Structure 1
């Protein structure tokens, strides 16, 4: 054995001993993964129940939308603060507190007597849930040795990837069978289980929580900036964007608040959020790529249920079942991706996953009025596979090179960009969907006139068929025009959905050069210095 190898062996043993050993590390992984799954599912589980909530609580469409917006705003505010909160209160104590807060807020959501209480409870739920998401991933990086990170992050990734698809499926069944309140009550037993597991298995901190000074100004500026930005994204399309004074005010609040927050955090000695961690090139590039992944994970997925319910006239439960195979494909692919990540350069896997998603988006651009479950099955299944091949290696390539003490701060940024990527993606795609539908309708209407023989022949054919059913000539003609108008609206909607899927595919294709700034994601090496 060479002298270098002799030195390397005890060094590797010392590094391995710094991490949790044996069965306990997997108990920790399952505990934090359960917390993350609860949080991620609740980002989408309410979407299929909004109509029932609206009718039951007597709310308008814009008012009920705050059930979703309040949760999302609270989420993005607390995620970047999770590293500081974990240091200040202690990692285990803070994670258990988040679980208790999330479970208690879920109970309050279920019993909410009116819309105001429900929105307030959803904000509390989002504040607890955001802490779960960021701390879960950080705890895994601090618990498992580098060589075991791929499988550990695979356990975490199952919830993050499959959650957005499982949410509507579970929510649809619970809403149809038991009522909308049960989409919140279902969290209670699992939340209690997660609290018990966290108390039993999360290791006690080896050091006392840091009694650092509280950066109240930084926290306040972050809350104002992210709340303004997220509110603008959530409500922009509904309020016609910048024609609304409210949206303009939120945009100004978001930009000014975040600018002052960055200025504050770079000047203070004890910041609430360590922005200096972005000096690590892998984190900066990986966080940017994470925003693109958020667009594919949340943005593209939001369009499929809308298409299924508005064009195919699926129920909430049927829509959930449509998304379920893709979620199951993600679960099956995750351990495979974990094994591959230990042997193959992360950039190759991320690139392959991105190209698979591009292919699935191309397949979805061929939807038509006759499209059904069979035609959507394979594109959605491959989308689930491609997302996993991106998510797991990207987590390793982004956070793996960071020093252990910087993982918690890095994880907050990484998860924040994914959440914001999804919010930005949904906002952009929702606006684009409406604009492209109006555009395609205008183009199609131009072809329906008395000077177009095909259009007049179609109208005469419909009028004749309706007249044969007993309608007089004038009534039959009016009914024919209404039928043709409905056909135009349907075709315009389908063409706009095709545009949406095409844009998502182009974004994933254009993001591939970011791979050049990522590391290989190989485990078992000493973290490099900052770049």
Structure 2
């Protein structure tokens, strides 16, 4: 799915130098440039989903709990979100082409470090580096690709880019599952090496001499530091809260205090700074505020279930990583087919209707999943993801149109980057919150189910007698009942609760869409 562009630094007093009017490419150079930039996009977006189906094997291999394994996802998303506001400043200091090549190279190096990791701490550190350098890659891919095409073919360029960005999340679970089962989990990161090197080589060769001008500009270091502090403290609190027993832990209380104080000072500083790293005044625009609310909460709900389902399939349903990837992959099929059609219709249909369709389909798919039984088959699970592709096709593009509608052209880069930052941050928070909610729910259901495992229960006595007839001791029989019956049932009941919650949230969020006014073209 096409990702929004980056946050750029607000324009200083003097106008920035205009980029040279490079002539558009044609023929083989244009094809190779499109391929090289699309490869970088593919690699970047792929890494947002490829690790989802491998969390359970990675956690087992590194000797940590599955809930700790979600740090692999959250560390990447948080660091990527934090690096987004620096993209505009770095582009002006280094040049778009040079920054893209550096980011892609460092992303490839970080992928190698991820594969070589021997502990969770090492892997999380490598994922942080990978996320930090990934922030500029997607917006720069878009900008450089548009340079290569004539203005009248800009839509075609973005269509090629959008197809790549749509295919990558589909391929992520499949590749991640197959590589984990048939090779080993480090290969989900090593696969980036040839892709990254080919992209760097082709881009450098095809776009030689097409660098953008550079200049020395200031950056809001205080705002950036405060951003890192409150986002980092919040994410660490969410990641470690469950194992530290939340606010019964002094560490969690300290992290919460740091997050609140950091966020408060961040708001004060950014609202009074002349050139803030994040332009919070955009929230005064009704469409921007309503659109961001719908997109951020909607995407976090979607991403939370996207992380949960592969974990549930492997831990409870006995799926391999490959099969967990295969049953979740169909989400991209209808999205890939419908996205170009939607793009052509956006100018004639109110985008609020498309966004409403997206949220209705999201809700229906989650309500459908909430009816799953312990013997649900793979085809049924895959069908819920197939039809959810309709929702994905009508999610990003209409909400982006709502968010950016009515804004002056010079504010669009900052607005695009701000909601992209919010989306990435929400995804990181959601991965922690939804996995914690599932595990807490499973514990609650487990306690309720065990209340019925007593000698007074005929069913319990029969199961225990059958187990002891196989030569098991009473203690072993009880352990077997717990592992094979009670725990899977508790985990299933808990994830059904999460599906009901997700469906309900999407229904409620429809109201946020209609808080916006009809989308209109930006004022010029």
Q: TM-score, normalised by structure 1?
A: 0.82
- Distance (whole Å) between structure 2 residues aligned to residue 484 and residue 110 of structure 1: 36
**1:172 deviation in Å?**
1.9
- Distance (whole Å) between structure 2 residues aligned to residue 407 and residue 140 of structure 1: 19
Asked if structure 1 preserves the Cα contact closer than 8 Å seen for 2:454 and 2:460, the reply is: no
Q: Do the aligned partners of residues 229 and 76 (structure 1) sit closer, same or farther apart at CA in structure 2, a change above 3 Å counting? A: farther
Structure 2 residues without counterparts, runs of 5 or longer: 1-20
RMSD of aligned C-alpha atoms? 3.6
2:498 to 467, 487, 500: 500
* Equivalent in the alignment of 2:198: 193
**1:101 deviation in Å?**
1.7
| Aligned-partner SS, 1:239 | coil
Q: Do the aligned partners of residues 52 and 479 (structure 1) sit closer, same or farther apart at CA in structure 2, a change above 3 Å counting? A: closer
Q: Do the aligned partners of residues 360 and 57 (structure 1) sit closer, same or farther apart at CA in structure 2, a change above 3 Å counting? A: closer
* Equivalent in the alignment of 1:216: 221
Q: Which structure's CA Rg is the greater one?
A: 1
* Equivalent in the alignment of 1:298: 303
Structure-to-structure mapping, 1:220-239, within 5 angstroms: 220-239=225-244
Structure-to-structure mapping, 1:5-404, within 5 angstroms: 32-50=37-55, 53=58, 66-112=71-117, 117-136=122-141, 155-158=160-163, 163-199=168-204, 200-201=206-207, 204=210, 208-399=213-404, 401-404=406-409
| Aligned-partner SS, 1:44 | coil
Q: Do the aligned partners of residues 289 and 370 (structure 1) sit closer, same or farther apart at CA in structure 2, a change above 3 Å counting? A: same
Deviations 1:256-277 (A, max 9, x none): 2232223222322233333334
* Equivalent in the alignment of 2:509: 511
Structure 1 residues without counterparts, runs of 5 or longer: 1-17
- Distance (whole Å) between structure 2 residues aligned to residue 312 and residue 411 of structure 1: 40
* Equivalent in the alignment of 2:413: 408
Asked if structure 1 preserves the Cα contact closer than 8 Å seen for 2:57 and 2:185, the reply is: yes
Asked if structure 1 preserves the Cα contact closer than 8 Å seen for 2:409 and 2:523, the reply is: no
Deviations 1:13-56 (A, max 9, x none): xxxxx999786999877655543332232133234445555566
- Distance (whole Å) between structure 2 residues aligned to residue 20 and residue 114 of structure 1: 49
| Aligned-partner SS, 2:349 | coil
* Equivalent in the alignment of 2:6: none
Aligned residues between the structures: 501
| Aligned-partner SS, 1:74 | helix
Q: Does 1:433 align with 2:435?
A: no
Q: Which structure dedicates a bigger proportion of its chain to helix?
A: 1
Deviations 1:328-383 (A, max 9, x none): 33223322322332432211111011101111011101111111202212111112
Q: TM-score, normalised by structure 2?
A: 0.83
| Aligned-partner SS, 1:511 | helix
* Equivalent in the alignment of 1:462: 463
- Distance (whole Å) between structure 1 residues aligned to residue 351 and residue 67 of structure 2: 43
Deviations 1:120-142 (A, max 9, x none): 33222111112224545677799
- Distance (whole Å) between structure 1 residues aligned to residue 215 and residue 278 of structure 2: 14
**1:477 deviation in Å?**
9.4
**1:115 deviation in Å?**
5.5
Asked if structure 1 preserves the Cα contact closer than 8 Å seen for 2:98 and 2:211, the reply is: no
* Equivalent in the alignment of 1:14: none
Structure number with greater CO (CA < 8 Å, separation at least 6) is: 2
Q: Do the aligned partners of residues 203 and 247 (structure 1) sit closer, same or farther apart at CA in structure 2, a change above 3 Å counting? A: farther
Q: Does 1:487 align with 2:485?
A: yes
- Distance (whole Å) between structure 1 residues aligned to residue 366 and residue 153 of structure 2: 33
